[in-house]
Structure 1
Amino acid sequence: MDIISTLSDDLLLKICSLLPTKDVFATTVLSKRWKFLWEMIHKLDFDDNFERCINEDSVNGIPSSYERFLQFVDRVMVLHKAPVIDTLKFKVGPWCNSEDMAHWMRIGIVRRVRQLELEISHSVDYYEYHESIVLPRSLYVYAKLEVLKLTNTILLDVITKDVRLPSLKSLHLLCVKYKTYACHCRLLSGCPVLEELVMDKSENSSLSCVCVQVPSLERLSILDTSDDDCDSKLVIDAPYLKYLNIVHICIW
């Protein structure tokens, strides 16, 4: 007897949530029971496998496998039926643009996503040509978001003072960019219940001074590797801080 088939749908969904979405989607061919089971999974994890696309034939500079990735994500996001997405995760290479990402994020917002993770993977050869991803304005006023993790060449363009993330408790800003210094301050000021902040400003020259003024903050981690005269400044105003980890490495 197929032991897996005897498990409850809830348990099967928990197991599937540990897998990349493309592998979960592949289970639709197993049986009638599996055909629609994936539609109720609470975690969507997309990876365009950037490293495998580098040497592929391309049309207008975009590999065919990335075009298939776009179609796959669109299909999954449309067919997915879980009322709430606990985690929506993207790991994409230099061919992803702001328009595509904004479209997927807006769908996630409609589906009441709680945790959003975005990582831009790149190689040394492609890094300088990658256009920074700009997040949609709607994300900065999304009331249900609890965890936001951003990594690499993502531009925080917070031009409005009306930032409202009332449920955000954990924020990771790893090697992101800021249009202005004020964008950093505006983002943090719109997170009234933020408990954890993780920053890596090693590749971000736009923040010579880091100012963390978050009354609710309990955990703060900052990594800073500089190639200048190591004159970076740090200001912390967090009266309820319980954990502090700062690594400052000067690269001469």
Structure 2
Amino acid sequence: MESHAIRALLRLYQKVARSQLRQTNGSFDDKEEDLYTKKDEKEEETCPVCMDVFTKKTKLEKCKHEFCEDCLERSVKSMGAMCPVCKDVFGLVEGDQPNGTMTWRTNYTRLPGFGSCGTIEINYNIPSGTQTAKHPNPGKLYQGTQRTAYLPDNKEGNEVLMLLKKAFDQKLIFTVGTSRTSGAENMVTWNDIHHKTSTYGGPQGFGYPDPNYLSRVKDELKAKGVK
């Protein structure tokens, strides 16, 4: 920290000195001033995570944002493989979902809004267990869950099914936390990838009809790098 402060004071002193010199005798021409300004700007570049001068600067290939090597490593450990600035995913994101199973079957029931196809019924089973270091209260028990969700058995519905399976394998569908409905702690809960848990009732009842649901859930999955 002391070395960063000293460099900052030195740069400030140099700026003031050049400014006074230019005001005194005008011998400091515009081109020379521009060169010093660009040099100062380059020296003052800072990492957006630690807000300090870069140490082992690392640039992400896709979004081009730059970070200290250690800052990026810490961010990946806490947030997953996504840019700390723009949240663009640059690697495989793995969540903290406890172990469990995801199975599905089809039937001939027709969902409201999808009268020309049957239904895909997804069954999730996450048994109770003990929280790990990734969870809010390591060492404490968490209560598991069993959930059922529904998709139309058409081309787009099957596409979403495969994306959900990929997200499940990356431990992104569930997490351990506080239930939004009961307020109970240490529960297995949904992890911001919305599911239709009813075959009817519309969006308010977490069911159908909801003509934009499939495109919305694909966007939610894409935001987590699942596509």
TM-score, structure 2 as length reference: 0.25
Normalised TM-score (structure 1): 0.23
* Structure ID, larger Rg: 2
More RCO (CA 8 Å, sep 6+)? 2
